[in-house]
Amino acid sequence: MKIAFLEDDAAFAATTLDWLQQAGHQVAHFSNGRDCIRAMADTHFDLCLLDWELPDLSGPEVMASLKLKGIVPPVIFLTGRDAEEDVIRMLEAGADDFIVKPPSRGILLARIQAAGRCCKTPRQPEQMQSIGEIKVDFSQRRFLIDDVVVSLTEKETKLALHFFNNIGMLLSRAHLIQVVWGTSPDIDTRTIDVHVSHLRNKLKLTAEHGWRLISVYQQGYRLERLEEYQREKS
* pLDDT digits 0-9 by tens, 53-94: 887 777 778 887 777 777 778 888 888 876 777 777 777 767
Model pLDDT, residue 121: 47
Domain 128-233 coded CATH 3.30.465.10: no
Burial (CB < 10 A; 0-12, 13-18, 19+), residue 201, is exposed
The rounded Cα 35 to chain-centroid distance in angstroms is 15
Model pLDDT, residue 156: 92
Contact between 152 and 231 (Cβ < 8 Å): no
The DSSP code sequence of 120-144 is -SPP---SEEEETTEEEETTTTEEE
Model pLDDT, residue 231: 43
Q: Using CA atoms, how far apart are residues 21 and 47, in angstroms rounded to an integer?
A: 14
CATH topology of domain 2-118: Rossmann fold (3.40.50)
Query: Residue ranges of the domains in the chain?
Result: 2-118, 128-233
- pTM, two decimal places: 0.53
Over the stretch 112-129, which tens digit does the pLDDT of each residue have? 888 776 555 444 455 677
Phi-psi map region of 40: left, alpha, beta (phi>0 left; psi -120 to 50 alpha) = alpha
Task: Kindly report the average pLDDT of the chain as a whole number.
Answer: 81
pLDDT bracket for residue 20 (50, 70, 90): very high
Task: Please give the angle made by the CA atoms of 91, 93 and 95, to the nearest 5 degrees.
Answer: 50
Q: Where are the beta strands (DSSP E) in the chain?
A: 2-6, 26-30, 47-51, 75-79, 97-100, 128-131, 134-137, 142-145, 148-149, 171-172, 211-216, 220-225
Return the CA Rg of the chain: 19
pLDDT at 19 over 90: yes
